[in-house]
Structure 1
Amino acid sequence: MTDSSARADTPGEPDDDVRQADQAHRGVPRAEGPQGTPAETEPGAGEFGERLSESAASRMRTHDDGSLDVMASIGGVRGLVEASVPAAAFLTVFVITEDLLSSSLVAVALGVLFTIARLMQRGPLVQSLSGLAVIVLCAFVAQQTGEARDFYLWGFLTNAAYIAGFALSIAVRWPFLGILFGFIRGEGVTWRQDDERRRRYALATWIVTGVLALRLMVQLPLYLSDAVVALGTARLVMGLPLYALALWIAWMITRPSAVPAPRTGGAVT
């Protein structure tokens, strides 16, 4: 991922020389047009790609060797805790007290504490508030229906939406992880000119889609049978860690082939 300090005059877009150097370091083939000139980015992709690149760069991290730093990309231990603890607290309090209101209040209170801590450290406002908004929404839905299982209902809806979106992106030959990883790696959308790389990005997108579908297959029957404890446990086990694993596998199988080093030394015999 290109360092944010190496920028061209246009905000959010790396300098061409920096981009090319980063591609060479990571083994990304430079797409070329006729007579060896750089290929043009496909019409309409530039603005969308720039915005997606900026968003992805703020969330995902890579090692110096180009591999994905999974823990850093999900926010490290802190990100894992903030994503898991409110839901775990809701489940724990509900098991002990069987009181929906108390369980919801504890979950929301933890979300508020995490959000305040991030804001005090001047974290991004949207990122800081988005997690709290989801917790509040889940608690609100559960309170409206009076069913503890409905604390997890929003997760089903978002999973289904992501599955539909990812599948559609593959169907129209714009696999989502190709867009995401392509801009992080400095490829832009030039990978679409390479059938093999497009197939790999489609496979990577299917892998993440499969994890989301697996969640529904396991958790939806638990929801329908009102097995709240089993449902809450499954949500924790199949949450961020499993998604991070799928993301890492997707990153690894889409790594560009290394550019062979030029030969040096004596004459070829």
Structure 2
Amino acid sequence: MTERPGSDRPEPSTGEGNSGEQPSFGDVAGAYAARAGVERKDDGQIDVLRSVGGIRGLAEAIVPGLLFTLLFTLTSGLYLPLAAAVASAGVFSVANLVQKRPLMQSLTGVIGVVICAVVALRSGSGTEFFLPGFYLNAAYILAFAVSIAVRWPVAGLLFGFIRGENVEWRASRKRTRAYALATWIIIAVFGLRLGVQLPLYLADNVGALGTMRLAMGVPLYALGLWLAWVVSRPLPQQNP
């Protein structure tokens, strides 16, 4: 793909001349990052809406938790809210299957909602519906921090391949530091979620916890993703 004037995207490496070589860690990481869903517009800016799955992706992320929170607040029972959450996630998967859209996000969402429902049913507490999310955020924090420690910051793997840098940014200390900072921004999103929502969980406040989970879900992640993209943008004629 040729470079558009004014964008920060250099010509991507074709990988020619490496035939017969074993794929490196960077090749494997790049293949994963290329499927991570981060998108950019024609003007070179990140397309936040497409990166979180578009309107459909927003709905898939928001609706199950919203239904659970509303119905639990109204009924104080578990069965109806949990059934509604699981059913809504299933509907999105079926719709994607019928429309021949990618199923990975929907299936992941269904599995996540089912796990949350099982945990809540076993405990008999509505707040437990949100418990698996805490472990997931903590796991992301740990994984992203480790990626910085080993000089493979996740933001570099996501954005580097979109910008056509592949893993060549690792040869530049400035670029590596920029992507480390971008990764810390995303870590801050996960940390902020835990810092705000854990006290609500401990207080057994389902309504407030559900509300904050929605507010600090896709919208906050999208903001963090955009900020990470901006701070890691290459400067013109940047030298290692």
TM-score relative to the length of structure 1: 0.80
The answer to whether residue 135 in structure 2 is matched with residue 157 in structure 1 is: yes
Letter in 2 for 1:123: R
CA distance in 2, matches of 1:144, 1:51: 39
Q: How does 1:48-127 map to 2 (within 5 A)?
A: 48-56=28-36, 59-127=37-105
Who is 1:256 aligned against?
Answer: 234
Q: Deviations over 1:132-191 (max 9, x none)?
A: 111111111100111110100110010000000011111111111011111111111100
- After TM superposition, give the deviation of residue 24 of structure 1 in Å: 7.8
Answer whether contact 2:186 2:221 (CA < 8 A) is retained.
Answer: yes
Q: Secondary structure at the match of 2:234?
A: coil
Unaligned runs of 5+ in 1: 1-17, 32-37, 261-269
CA distance in 1, matches of 2:152, 2:64: 35
Answer whether contact 1:27 1:256 (CA < 8 A) is retained.
Answer: yes
Q: How does 1:35-54 map to 2 (within 5 A)?
A: 44-54=24-34
CA distance in 1, matches of 2:188, 2:173: 22
The answer to whether residue 195 in structure 2 is matched with residue 214 in structure 1 is: no
- Distance of aligned partners of 1:88 and 1:30 in 2 relative to their CA distance in 1, 3 Å threshold: closer
**Whose radius of gyration is greater, 1 or 2?**
1
CA distance in 2, matches of 1:81, 1:178: 28
- After TM superposition, give the deviation of residue 60 of structure 1 in Å: 2.2
Q: Deviations over 1:206-252 (max 9, x none)?
A: 00101100110111111111111111111011111000000001111
Unaligned runs of 5+ in 2: none
CA RMSD of aligned residues (A): 2.5
- After TM superposition, give the deviation of residue 104 of structure 1 in Å: 0.3
Q: Secondary structure at the match of 2:35?
A: helix
Identity of aligned residues (%): 49
Who is 1:147 aligned against?
Answer: 125
Letter in 2 for 1:48: V
Letter in 2 for 1:119: L
- After TM superposition, give the deviation of residue 30 of structure 1 in Å: 7.4
**How many positions carry a matched residue from both structures?**
233
- Distance of aligned partners of 1:157 and 1:88 in 2 relative to their CA distance in 1, 3 Å threshold: same
Who is 2:156 aligned against?
Answer: 178
- Distance of aligned partners of 1:23 and 1:253 in 2 relative to their CA distance in 1, 3 Å threshold: farther
TM-score relative to the length of structure 2: 0.89
